[in-house]
């Protein structure tokens, strides 16, 4: 969740650290800080709030040096404050540490250190690591060994960057269950939680695996396992460019990413069909007929927006392939003691490929003999490396905390996987496949059509409904799933109380919440369910609700019951989820904009949830 960056080289580290932290601020913005090796020791500057606050502090109270580490925080232990901000000193100010993760046994370690006379200044678990490293360092006088010994004592997750005032030419980095890469430069090297922090300087990096450490100097990088044995790593070269991590003229990253969706869907469809368009061809997927015929159930496991993309997959796989599918929230999956074995296919979905709960679910599935297929965006991520099969979603950077283009990419992946399995098992006719393929080819231009034509109407609806205090989304089948994602977006960035309900369940309780002028968003794109959902809209209208409907072009009778309607282009029934979601994204965006909220950095949230 937190963002880490480090630099060792020929130049002043501070501009590199600040630039990196700004690029990583989507990972946490409760506080930020830097630690820099100076001639007289380590200088730390840190401030509550966003990186801009740290930048202002550094103008008034500068530090300078050629080796440094930085951190932007999403709080776990201890409230956001200057005192709890990273980096953290050890006693004696010999060791400085930045940390992403949770040290689960920190209280036990803290008690031991306090018994030895150590004093603690913060409420964080990280300060325990700093003092434990210092305690070992005093014994062995070797920073790398002191960090290694500390990691043997720590239980939980970590990505660490460590400075020592006695070692002015190096950074020690380590990871377990929290992402960390080592950027490779010319006469300078870097550490970072994610490539955006260092993309301006290098595209080449080592990706640390769990329980690996790195000794990083300006002209060398050495990587070790937890026993202290030096190991060789392959260099990974990122293909993304600097522009991909910039706003490119848009007011917010979220708006930019909404408008990138036609390209994202097109990229995910390109080169994934045979030349004649009659067969699916998925690189990285080795699931053929022989493997699939032994599968008797499927689990789809994910968190947040990815979970809703997984629900789309569940609906399609069960209806088209006719295999039982369980869709599970990753944070609950392990604790249910799920009934999985070698006849189970587990599909895990994660934009970052580092989502802690999803990664844990993957490991459990593999331990029980299940085959794991990962749908991820981040190449080389932990989930991608652990899975048996990988389908990359090719969405590029997604910087805004509220996910938009990742959802469209993940749903497109669900379309492809459904068609792949259906073809391999002979569950789809050539005629039906061709019909869906034709509809898929039209999707990018249809998304663009919505983005081009719908915005003026949506802005008008926002002005009309900006005073809403409670918003309910209703739909049936795939429309209900789409409503879940629309409701989440409104919660995340506009901070409005919003709930999705299956339209058929209204009379079983939720309709009691409807009162005069309550806003209900009715998603009505499934033509086989159109009349039933229309009847449900009549029921909420009869109780005073205002209704904004999202319907398929041509179904104009919805205007009889809705106050306002947004139409999506006509498409195949299984492809409506992406098109119906675009207006919801725009509605949430412009509602948040109208309410004056910080759209890219919503309170209490971070982009990549790497702790449980």
Q: Which long-range CB contacts under 8 A does 89-92 form with residues at least 24 apart?
A: 89/42, 89/44, 89/121, 89/127, 89/130, 90/130, 90/131, 90/133, 90/134, 91/118, 91/119, 91/131, 91/134, 92/134
DSSP-derived 3-state class of residue 452: helix
- Residue 311's H or E segment, with its range, is helix 304-316
Beta bridge partners of 194: none
Query: How many angstroms separate the CA atoms of 166 and 133, rounded?
Result: 13
Centre a 10 Å sphere on the Cβ of residue 547 and count the other Cβ atoms it contains.
Answer: 22
Q: Which long-range CB contacts under 8 A does 514-518 form with residues at least 24 apart?
A: 514/472, 514/540, 514/543, 514/544, 514/545, 515/543, 515/544, 516/544, 517/468, 517/544, 517/545, 517/546, 518/468, 518/470, 518/471, 518/472, 518/544, 518/545, 518/546
- CA-based angle 461:582:560, to the nearest 5? 50
Contacts of 112 (CB under 8 A, 6+ apart): none
Please return the burial class of 522, using the count of CB atoms within 10 Å of its CB with bins 0-12, 13-18 and 19+. Answer: buried
Q: Give yes or no: 2 in active site.
A: yes
Phi-psi region of 369 (alpha: psi -120 to 50; beta: other; left: phi over 0): left
Query: How many angstroms separate the CA atoms of 410 and 327, rounded?
Result: 14
Query: How many angstroms separate the CA atoms of 68 and 85, rounded?
Result: 16
Q: Which of 2, 164, 167, 303 is catalytic?
A: 2
Q: Which of 50, 489, 534, 607 is catalytic?
A: 607
Q: Where are the alpha helices (DSSP H) in 179-292?
A: 253-259, 261-269, 289-292
- What sign has the CA pseudo-torsion 422, 428, 431, 435? negative
Residue 452 main-chain phi, psi, to 5 deg:
-75, -40
Catalytic positions are: 2, 607
């Amino acid at each position: 969740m937190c963002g880490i960056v480090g630099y060792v080289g020929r130049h002043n580290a501070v501009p590199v650290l600040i630039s990196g932290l700004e690029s990583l601020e989507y990972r946490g913005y409760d506080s930020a800080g830097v630690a820099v090796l100076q001639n007289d020791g380590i200088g730390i500057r840190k401030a509550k709030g966003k990186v801009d606050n740290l930048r202002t502090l550094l103008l008034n109270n500068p530090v300078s040096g050629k080796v440094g580490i930085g951190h932007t925080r999403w709080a776990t232990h201890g409230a956001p404050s200057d005192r709890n901000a990273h980096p953290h000193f050890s006693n004696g100010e010999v060791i400085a540490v930045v940390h992403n993760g949770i040290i689960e046994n920190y209280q036990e370690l803290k008690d031991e250190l306090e018994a030895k006379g150590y004093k603690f200044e913060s409420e964080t678990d990280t300060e325990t690591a700093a003092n434990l490293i210092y305690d070992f360092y005093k014994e062995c006088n070797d920073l790398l060994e002191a960090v290694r010994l500390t990691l043997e004592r720590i239980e939980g997750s970590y990505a660490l960057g460590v400075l020592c005032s006695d070692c002015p030419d190096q950074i020690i980095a380590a990871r377990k269950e929290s992402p960390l890469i080592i950027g490779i430069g010319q006469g300078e090297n870097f550490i970072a939680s994610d490539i955006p922090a260092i993309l301006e300087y290098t595209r080449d990096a080592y990706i640390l695996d769990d329980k690996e450490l790195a000794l990083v100097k300006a002209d060398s990088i050495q990587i070790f396992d937890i026993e202290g044995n030096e190991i060789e790593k392959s260099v990974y070269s990122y293909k993304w460019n600097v522009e991909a991590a910039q706003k490119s003229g848009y007011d917010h990253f979220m708006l930019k990413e909404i408008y990138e969706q036609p390209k994202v869907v097109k990229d995910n469809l390109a080169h994934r069909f045979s030349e004649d368009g009659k067969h699916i061809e998925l690189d990285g997927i080795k699931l053929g007929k022989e493997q699939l015929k032994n599968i008797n159930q499927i689990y789809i496991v994910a968190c947040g927006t990815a979970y809703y993309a997984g629900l789309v997959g569940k609906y399609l796989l069960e209806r088209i392939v006719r295999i039982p599918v369980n869709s599970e929230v990753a944070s609950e999956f392990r604790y249910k003691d799920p009934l999985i074995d070698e006849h189970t296919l587990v599909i895990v979905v994660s934009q970052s490929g580092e989502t802690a709960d999803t990664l844990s679910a993957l490991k459990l599935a593999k331990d029980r003999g299940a085959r794991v297929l990962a749908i991820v965006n981040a190449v080389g991520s932990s989930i991608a490396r652990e899975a048996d099969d990988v389908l990359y979603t090719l969405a590029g950077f997604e910087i805004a905390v509220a996910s938009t283009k990742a959802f469209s990419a993940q749903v497109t992946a669900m379309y492809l996987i459904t068609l792949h399995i259906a073809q391999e098992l002979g569950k789809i006719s050539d005629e039906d496949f061709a019909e869906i393929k034709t509809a898929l080819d039209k999707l990018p231009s249809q998304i663009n059509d919505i983005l081009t034509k719908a915005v003026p109407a949506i802005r008008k609806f926002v002005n009309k409904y900006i005073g809403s205090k409670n918003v309910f989304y209703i739909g049936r089948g795939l429309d209900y799933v789409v409503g879940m994602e629309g409701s989440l977006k409104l919660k995340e960035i506009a901070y409005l109380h919003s709930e999705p309900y299956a339209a058929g369940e209204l009379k079983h309780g939720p309709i009691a919440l409807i009162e005069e002028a309550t806003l209900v968003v009715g998603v009505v794109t499934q033509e086989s369910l159109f009349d039933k959902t229309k009847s449900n809209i009549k029921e909420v209208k009869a109780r005073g609700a205002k209704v904004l409907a999202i319907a398929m072009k041509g179904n104009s009778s919805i205007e009889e019951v809705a106050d306002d309607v947004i139409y999506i282009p006509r498409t195949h029934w299984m492809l409506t989820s992406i098109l119906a979601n675009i207006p919801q994204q725009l509605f949430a965006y412009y509602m948040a904009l109208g309410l004056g909220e910080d759209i890219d950095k919503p309170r209490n949230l971070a982009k990549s949830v790497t702790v449980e």
